Structure formats: C-alpha cells, structure tokens
Structure 1
Amino acid sequence: MPHTILVVDDNDQNRLLLRDVLQISGFDVLLAENGEETVRLAREHHPDLILMDIQMPVMNGLEAGKLLRCDPRTKDICILALSCAVMIEDKDDFFATGFDGYIDKPIDIRMLPKTIMKYLANDERK
C-alpha cells in the first residue's frame, strides 16, 4: 500500500509540481492550499506525512502544525516544513512547533522522494 503525502502550499504551481513528482514516485497525494484545509484533511485522511509551506493565507503552517500536534487524531503524523531561506530562528520555530524537519525551497525534486522515504523510515511516532 503506497504512503499518502499531504502537500500544502498556497502557490498552485508548487503544489501541482510536488503532486506530480510524488505521484510518479508511487505516493498517493492529497492537496491543500492553506493551514485550515490541512487540519481538516489530516483529520479526515490521516496521511503518513505532511509537506507544509509556512507562509500561507487563512492559517499559516506554524499555526496548523500546533493544531495538528495537539489533536490526538493527528499528533503522530510526520510534518516537514517547506520554507525559503531558512534561518536558524526559523528552524527553532519549526522544531518548537513539533515539525519533524524542513526542506528548503527551491526544492530539489530529484531528491524529494528519497528525503520523504528517509523521514517515513525514521518516524518513531508510529
């Protein structure tokens, strides 16, 4: 059974590119364009991993991450932040919120499936 990845980005092109790359690599993919949608889809579908942009309208990635970590239905899902120009303070915020890691933008799409598999293999919450 393939792993399910929830891709969250308010930029349509980014979201669709990530979907295509992940589907070609054999993952099932769900899509969301803001944090509010992410929380709803995560509760409904319980994906194996969430790739989440941080700066989004409606609800940003950090707010969504906090809600996901506080909810017994979603607290065990692996969450990776997608962010541009990650500074040390940003990384601290990601980990303090409960993110499992981060991927810098622009994303190396050749390495993305391997990176995701690494996190899924090391996910100790499950």
Structure 2
Amino acid sequence: MSLILLVEDHDMAREIMQRRLEREGYRVETAQTGKESLEKIRNISPDLVLMDMSMPMIDGWEATRRIKADPELKRIPVMALTANAIEGDRERCLAAGCDDYETKPVDFDRLLKKIRLLLGGSRTSS
C-alpha cells in the first residue's frame, strides 16, 4: 500500500482529501505547513507528496525546491495542488521541481489517474 504525504493548510480540505485517498487504498499522512512537510518527509519516507503551493512561511514552491535539492529526497514525486490556475502557474510549479500539477477544486478522478502514473501504476492496493 503506497504512502502519500498530503500537505494542506486548510483543515476541511485536508480531511476530505485524506478520507477519499484512504478509501482508494492509500495510506495517508498529513502536514499542515511546508516546514512540517520537510520534517515529516524524512521520518516517513512517503511514496508521493501532494503539496499545497500556497501556505504561510515556507510555501509549497520553497518546500518542493528543498525536497528536490536533497539527494536523499529528490526521488520522491511531488504533485502541486493549487487554486492558482492562471497561465504560467503549471510551468512555475514544474520549474520548482514538481513532477505534476493539479488545480483546486480537485477533480478527484483525474487526480487518482495522475497519482497512479507517478507511483508507477501498480503500487496501490486498489
């Protein structure tokens, strides 16, 4: 069963997304800030990070840059989750090191397809 680190600063969005992912057979750990995500990623070694890009203090762009700059962590795929859907945001997320990009509100079926692709297609129990 794949482990996903869900980084989201809004409580309700985090809880809803966590429940939906768990129903799909994923194990889910959560972090509320970019700083917390950087601490947790080392401890739990997730298979994938779903990263909210707009957070206070250390935002998702900076957290992703730090993850991808670390030789021990850079192998972990990071998918940007953002309400920013203006032209150039996808490219900005990819330039920060994100492996994929999904806008909010999340199209859950599309998100699941992207997760499966990033995990290699067969690393979930669903």
TM-score, normalization by structure 2: 0.90
Query: Which residue identity is paired with 1:86?
Result: A
After the TM superposition, which segments of 4 or more aligned residues of structure 1 sit over 3 Å from their partners? none
CA distance in 2 between counterparts of 1:121 and 1:36 reads: 28
Map 1:93-112 to 2 at 5 A: 93-112=92-111
Match of 1:26 in 2: 25
Q: Which residue of 2 aligns with 1:11?
A: 10
Question: Which residues in structure 2 correspond to 1:1-126 (within 5 Å)?
Answer: 2-121=1-120
Match for 2:118: what amino acid? Answer: Y
SS at match of 2:114: helix
AA aligned opposite 2:58: M
Gap runs ≥5 in structure 1: none
RMSD: 1.3
Q: Matches of 1:37 and 1:93 in 2, distance apart?
A: 22
Letter in 2 for 1:6: L
- TM-score, with structure 1 as normaliser: 0.90
